Amino acid sequence: MKTKVLSIILVAIVLASCADKQKQLIDLKKQRDAISEQIKKLEDDLAKSDSTKTKNLGNRVAVAEIKPTAFNHFIEVQGKVDGDENVSVSTQTGGIIQQILVKEGDQVSKGQVLARLDDNVLQQNLKDLQNSLEFATSLYDKQKALWDQKIGSEVQYLSAKNTKEGLEHKIAILKDQISLTNLVSPINGTVEDIPAKLGQMVAPGLVAFRVVNFAKVKIVAELAEAYTSRVNDGDLVNVYFPDLNKEVVGKVNFSSKYINPTNRTFSINVRLSGVDPNLKANMIAILKINDYKAANALVVPINLIQNDQTGTYIVLANKAANGNIAKRVPVIAGETYKGLTEIKSGLKQGDLVVTAGYLELENGQAINF
């Protein structure tokens, strides 16, 4: 009996507890619905406010005022370092290199012998001719002495004279040939390269030595035919050496009048005012040639220039009776360099150019900045 009573009491307690939780849940849902309604009302109010603001003020943009500034245009081209004199030395006659008298890095002077070819055969021929000349000279002296005394015939005298002079002429020619077996430097400079090797057979046209005179340095470059009229002698050039991370100023001292028909380019030489000991022949140099400059140019970033079926234009911010509006202004663009373009016509000092948000704008559309 007691057990049954306890069971009834527990059931009553559980039912009472469930009733309280049900009531709490109903109350919380009512609060949630009320808060959700308040949130929706606030969102609607804010949306109406933003719509009104956008309608009144227009699209949000950024602008920049046009001011005159210095503008320079450069032609950029890659060149290479070269000495004032850079020559390849080759033999004028074929032969085997018997002796090399210099090494790479040696300073040499004009006319200095760099190497000698094997001339044993020529030297032997020279000795034979010299021996023959001694005999011919002795015979000539005797015939001349007799002829001076009116003894003997004139034919004998002239024959002896002709023989002697002929041998002298042959010896002179042979000595010239022997001299050609010496490879000499045609300039003052430094031996930079020696392709020739001891005991190697060389022939005319094959480079045996390279001698460079770096007393004066120049930069050699090839420019496209389109720049022919824009680069002239005396133009200043900024020369940058990537390997040295160094920039110097040079001057165009030669602009070729010849167009290479193969690649449609012409050559220029840029003279440097000083000699840097770190410069090497054929080192890369980046040339920036100032081919155009304007002291008071109106310049805009190139991405602000737009095009449509009517032509080229820029979007300006203009004041109107009810605020600011976008206006497409036709322009004539000039030179472009490093992302900046000079505007030759269409803009004036003080104009406000739309620099952000211009792609979505229509002509006359309200804007805010």
Please report the pLDDT score of residue 209 as a whole number.
Answer: 92
| Euclidean distance between CA atoms 228 and 267, whole angstroms | 10
| Euclidean distance between CA atoms 153 and 149, whole angstroms | 11
Please report the pLDDT score of residue 13 as a whole number.
Answer: 55
Please report the pLDDT score of residue 215 as a whole number.
Answer: 77
| Euclidean distance between CA atoms 183 and 112, whole angstroms | 8
Please report the pLDDT score of residue 224 as a whole number.
Answer: 92
| Euclidean distance between CA atoms 253 and 270, whole angstroms | 6
Q: What are the helix (H) ranges across the chain?
A: 2-57, 120-148, 154-179
In this prediction the pTM is: 0.56
Find, among 321, 324, 337, the residue nearest to 364 by Cα.
324
Please report the pLDDT score of residue 279 as a whole number.
Answer: 83
Find, among 338, 258, 365, the residue nearest to 76 by Cα.
338
Facing residues of 78 across strands? 286
| Euclidean distance between CA atoms 318 and 60, whole angstroms | 14
Q: In the CATH scheme, what is the code of domain 298-368?
A: 2.40.420.20
| Euclidean distance between CA atoms 205 and 188, whole angstroms | 21
Find, among 268, 307, 315, the residue nearest to 287 by Cα.
268
Where does residue 202 rank: exposed (0-12), middle (13-18), buried (19+ CB within 10 A)? buried
Please report the pLDDT score of residue 192 as a whole number.
Answer: 85
Please report the pLDDT score of residue 92 as a whole number.
Answer: 86
Give the largest Cα separation in the chain, rounded.
189
Two tokens at 127? 């000795």
Please report the pLDDT score of residue 155 as a whole number.
Answer: 83
Sign of the Cα pseudo-torsion (47, 51, 57, 63, in order): positive
pLDDT, averaged per 10 consecutive residues of the chain (369 residues), comes to 52 56 77 79 66 59 90 91 85 89 90 90 89 88 83 82 90 88 89 89 89 85 90 88 90 89 92 78 90 89 88 87 84 90 90 86 83
